[in-house]
Amino acid sequence: MPIRLLDERVIGKIAAGEVIERPASALKELVENSLDAGATSISVALEKGGSGLIEVVDDGSGIPADQLELAVTRHATSKLMQWDDLHALRSLGFRGEALPSIAAVSDFTLRSRTSDDAAGSELSVVYGVARPIRPAAATRGTRVTVRDLFGNVPARRRFLRQAGTETAVMVRSIAAYALSRTDVAFQVSVDGRRSFATDGRGDAVAAAVAVWGAEVGPAAIPLAPLDATAAVPGITVAGWIGLPMVTKSHRNSLLFFVNGRWVQNRPLLFALEEAYHSLLMVGRHPVGVVRIELDPAMVDVNVHPTKAEVKFVDERSVARAVSRAAHQALSAARPDEVPEVRFGDRGMAPTAQPQPLRSIAGSRTDWDASPLASGSGFRPQPFEPSSREVEPLPVPAIRGGTNVAGAAGEYDAPAEPGPGTAVAERPVPVLRVLGQVNGTYIIAEGPDGMFMIDQHAAHERVMYERILTEMRERRIDVQPFLDPLIVELTHQQMAAFERSTEELTAIGFEIEPFGPQSVAVRAMPAMMRGVHIGDRLRLILDELAEGGMGDSWLDAVAISAACHTSIRAGQPLSLAEMRELVAQLEQTEQPRACGHGRPTMLHLSQGELERQFSRR
Ligand code: ADP
Ligand code: MG
């Protein structure tokens, strides 16, 4: 279709608003244009957080030379003729606003060639002023080059975040399309270095591994079509979701696409997480790429300026279809890949099979009545944000009253708003360590029955409280290095580092930038002595890049540092080491949960043991 001006009445109905808020919005529009043009290969180059350069090159249909000017004219589009077309829309764009909006605030060049053209042509627009069109060498497709974005809008520039953060947001938005359009080969480079590349061969798991890393590969299970009885008419759900062995502290890695459009929609998130039910730990979220297809007339795409949200005519049906598809996928997964049903689950197993043995869950009331059970988190948890039962220790004004908590609530902050009720600060009784199961759980005897302690969660709690105590008492014990340790980072990790430098220093690290993508570690908290800090630092920054978890950014950094430097699951411990750990745990203020809110221990009371063995 040729590019044409929309008529006034249509323009009036288009959701108005800022289309280009930050570099990532420009990039998203450009990539959507390439997809609309039928590209099979899209390469993206980013520099200086997008303020330097955003370039998108595709092999799509191209734009004829005589339409280049229309392409950068407001409300000119080739995708919509009249208002009613919106009800049958299959393209991502429809408003004809993106290119003109970007060209108004950047040094912009559009070079294109269609298969009918003998040569390519190029149009430059510098801060809204168009230069004459001129011939240019080109293969079929389009190249859009955006330099110096917001160069003429200094106020907007100032509101951009650090380059690393803007880059992370841009990479996330293009990653979303690379994950859903696995039939298109994406190539992304950041400041001249490759960020990721997908092969465009249509393999969803291969794309997920290329973008999100190897760990998601084995966890991905397909969302297969629902059988006739479960299917929701007119709605299909495809894609994949991750088994609960891979979860995140945020919902950024759970993507929804509606008719190919990446959308944010909380009801769908909740519908999907519902299907996991008790398989997810409090505060953890699954990963996945969920593609929903339905009649375009059943969804309104014109409700949001950046088209990030849509409105369904029948939202409940869509949610139902998503939840059923996820449920079916989780049940079909090999049972040994799904964690065992925990104490307190009642018929919530993904298989929903009746349990053959009389389960501990049968006496749930007694279990809950046990003096140590409450707050330890092994009851089924609803997925509402308020379900977080464990409150991390608040750190009172640190460092001469400077409140570093201000960093929380920024972009990337975890989805959970705040903690619910604080866990009762009941001490742990003196425990006698009996042994270790699976190199992971410490079994101990207490005055009333038996305790099972997760060694990693327990140590994490110990480390976390020690960090806070040292900070509060201003006696941070620092271990300097003779030679600095140089650690290479990805740009996401680098961005997390930039954001957290102050907080890392507060807890006893001394780390400086060392080149664009590495840091020099000069000192570390003495309590972490003995761990290989290079590897662990990357894990800490990965978690922080995902948004971290805690009441403030300082808290998030402390929690993450404690987690990644503590004893891991699967590490055999001597009896003496276990006794030491349990003794340290007994000393903590909140021994029942780690900094992330996971329980550190389970208690099987004397009474419960007797009931289970039918002695009473
Ligand atoms: P919209 O996508 O809403 O139509 P845009 O401002 O993003 O508006 O683009 C204007 C027009 O320019 C599009 O309708 C399309 O015809 C053309 N166009 C933009 N980018 C490309 C591209 N990468 N390949 C082919 N045509 C493009
Ligand atoms: Mg567009």
Q: What 3 state SS string does 245-282 have?
A: CCEECCCCCEEEEECCEEECCHHHHHHHHHHHHHHCCC
Beta strands in 370-526 (DSSP E): 432-437, 441-446, 449-454, 478-488, 510-513, 518-525
Give the pair of three-digit tokens for residue 172. Answer: 């996330």
Residue 184 pLDDT exceeds 90: yes
**Ligand 2 mean position to 152 CA, how many Å?**
22
Task: Report the nearest atom of ligand 1 relative to the CA of 100.
Answer: 6
Q: What is the rounded distance in angstroms from the CA atom of residue 582 to the CA atom of residue 446? A: 12
- CA nearest ligand 1 atom 21, residue: 33
SS3 state at 25:
helix
Across 528-538, average pLDDT: 88
| Residue 460 near residue 494, CB atoms below 8 Å | no
Is the CB of residue 287 less than 8 Å from the CB of residue 256? no
Quick check: 186 and 198 in contact, CB under 8 A?
yes
Ligand nearest to C-alpha 98: 1
Q: Decide: 341 and 278 in contact? Cβ < 8 Å.
A: yes
- Closest listed residue to residue 215, CA positions, set 182, 248, 183, 173: 248
Please write the tens of the pLDDT for every residue from 545-591. Answer: 988 887 789 989 999 999 999 998 888 888 888 998 998 998 888 88
Residue 337 in this model has a pLDDT that exceeds 80: no
Cα–ligand 1 centroid distance for 33 (angstroms): 5
In this structure, the residue with its CA closest to atom 9 of ligand 1 is 96
Q: For residue 237, report the distance from its CA to the centre of ligand 1, in Å.
A: 28
Percentage with pLDDT > 90 across the chain: 44
The C-alpha atoms of residue 62 and residue 176 are separated, in whole angstroms, by: 23
Distance 78 CA to ligand 1 centre (A): 7
Q: Which ligand is nearest to the CA of 58?
A: 1
Distances (CA, A) of 25 to 127, 169, 229, 447: 17, 9, 41, 60
Q: What is the DSSP letter of 342?
A: P
Residue 44 CB neighbours (<10 A): 24
Instruction: Categorize the per-residue pLDDT at 246 as very low, low, confident or very high, splitting at 50, 70 and 90.
Output: confident
Residue 548, Ramachandran bin (φ over 0: left; ψ between -120 and 50: alpha; else beta): left
| Nearest CA, atom 16, ligand 1 | 78
**Under DSSP, is residue 289 helix (H, G, I), strand (E, B) or coil?**
strand
Q: Which atom of ligand 1 is nearest to the CA of 101?
A: 6
Residue 78 Cα: closest atom of ligand 1: 14
- 61 CA → ligand 1 middle, Å: 10
Ligand 1 pocket test target in 3, 30, 33, 116 with most atoms within 8 Å of CB: 33
**pLDDT digits over 194-229, tens only?**
999 999 999 999 999 999 888 888 889 999 888 888
d(CA 92, CA 32) in angstroms, rounded, equals 6
Ligand 1 pocket (Cβ < 6 Å) reads: 3, 29, 33-34, 37, 58, 60-63, 71, 77-79, 93-99, 142
Element (H, E) at 23: helix 23-36
Put simply, whether the predicted model's pTM sits higher than 0.75 gets the answer no
183, HSE (Cβ side, Cα atoms, 13 Å) = 4
pLDDT of residue 423: 36
User: Closest Cα to atom 19, ligand 1: which residue?
Assistant: 33
Other beta carbons within 10 Å of 399: 13
* Positive or negative torsion for Cα 309, 314, 320, 321: negative
Tens digit of each residue's pLDDT (9 = 90 or more) over 94-118: 888 899 999 999 999 999 999 998 8
Mean pLDDT, the chain, as a whole number?
80
- pLDDT tens-digit readout, 278-305: 677 777 889 999 999 999 888 888 777 6
Ligand 1 nearest-atom number relative to CA 141 = 24
Average pLDDT estimate for 119-145: 95
Sign of CA dihedral 42, 43, 49, 53: negative
The CA distance from 423 to 531, in Å, is 31
Which is nearest to 329 in space by CA: 230, 232, 248?
230
Nearest ligand, measured from the Cα of 35: 1
- Give the pLDDT score at 5: 80
Distances (CA, A) of 132 to 21, 101, 110, 148, 317: 28, 19, 12, 20, 52
Q: What is the Å distance from ligand 2's center to 254 Cα? A: 24
**Is pLDDT of 373 > 90?**
no
Q: How far is the CA of 601 from the centre of ligand 2 (A)?
A: 53
Which atom from ligand 1 is nearest to the alpha carbon of 1?
Answer: 16
Considering only CA atoms, which residue is closest to atom 8 of ligand 1? 96
The ligand whose atoms approach the alpha carbon of 71 most closely is 1
pLDDT of 454 reads: 94
Q: Tokens 């890949």 — which residue?
A: 337
Q: Report how far residue 237's alpha carbon sits from residue 225's, in angstroms, rounded to the nearest whole number.
A: 7
